[in-house]
A and B are shown apart, each in its own frame.
Chain A
């Protein structure tokens, strides 16, 4: 079955700097890769997603890249702000199965 590895587990960056979170997946047939942000006391919320026929997608300060050959995808947050502090989860989906990574706790330092 699918396996998703996510790194790092914790990331601290200075406000204004960029943050990068990386994930790898095992099943080359996976075709949908969402990223979720979970703030304290809330459920995960979708922030961006990418499908396997696309290599990169951007939405304001957030971008996701996908390398199907290497089976890895990354989340890039530029010009980080205090409200970006949260836990971020990547996921890989195939048919009716979605597998999540363990999460990255992002701290934005003042």
Chain B
């Protein structure tokens, strides 16, 4: 799993806190993704960046704010979250998001608990 790394691996935060999740890919890819994984639900795509430009925002609440400073790094800034936002947040990368046959490589995820 050295291809895509995520920090922190675990995060507990209160509803009034502000925190950030970090993702880094070492694969030379141009596209990066944030997914939310909740129990007994399909993986939910949140955001897509291709060549540092956001190409997809899947109706995600504004309390989640992504940032992609370059093709290798992706952040998810969190503020005033709700308990139902508790989930595993997965980052992925692929060569080019516009190509449907590109394989996505996932990081290990950040387990987020909102109290």
Residues of chain A at the chain B interface (Cβ within 8 Å): 4, 9, 31-32, 34, 36, 41-46, 49, 51, 89, 93-103
B101, A93: Cβ atoms closer than 8 Å: yes
Task: Please measure, in the bound complex, the distance between the C-alpha atom of A99 and the C-alpha atom of B44, giving whole angstroms.
Answer: 8
A46, B105: Cβ atoms closer than 8 Å: yes
- B1 proximity list for chain A (CB < 8 A): 42-43
A93, B100: Cβ atoms closer than 8 Å: yes
Task: Please measure, in the bound complex, the distance between the C-alpha atom of A31 and the C-alpha atom of B107, giving whole angstroms.
Answer: 25
B103, A46: Cβ atoms closer than 8 Å: yes
Supply 8 further A-B pairs (C-beta < 8 A) apart from A46-B103, A46-B105: A4-B42, A34-B103, A42-B109, A43-B6, A44-B43, A49-B103, A96-B55, A102-B41
Nearest B residue to A94 via CB reads: B100
Residues 20-67 of B contacting A (Cβ, < 8 Å): 40-43, 45, 48, 55-56
Task: Please measure, in the bound complex, the distance between the C-alpha atom of A98 and the C-alpha atom of B42, giving whole angstroms.
Answer: 11
- The A interface, classified by DSSP as helix, strand, loop or mixed, is strand
- B104 proximity list for chain A (CB < 8 A): 34, 46, 98
Task: Please measure, in the bound complex, the distance between the C-alpha atom of A101 and the C-alpha atom of B37, giving whole angstroms.
Answer: 12
Task: Please measure, in the bound complex, the distance between the C-alpha atom of A34 and the C-alpha atom of B43, giving whole angstroms.
Answer: 14
- The B interface, classified by DSSP as helix, strand, loop or mixed, is loop
Nearest B residue to A31 via CB reads: B100
Task: Please measure, in the bound complex, the distance between the C-alpha atom of A101 and the C-alpha atom of B44, giving whole angstroms.
Answer: 10
Nearest B residue to A99 via CB reads: B42
- B90 proximity list for chain A (CB < 8 A): 43-44
Task: Please measure, in the bound complex, the distance between the C-alpha atom of A99 and the C-alpha atom of B48, giving whole angstroms.
Answer: 14
For B4-21 the 0/1 string (1 means CB < 8 A from A) is: 101000000000000000
Q: Of A46, A95, A101, A103, which contacts B100 at CB under 8 A?
A: A95
A59 to chain B, nearest CB (A): 14
- A93 proximity list for chain B (CB < 8 A): 100-101
Chain A to chain B: the 8 pairs with minimum beta-carbon distance, closest first: A43-B106, A100-B43, A32-B101, A93-B100, A100-B42, A44-B106, A43-B108, A102-B42
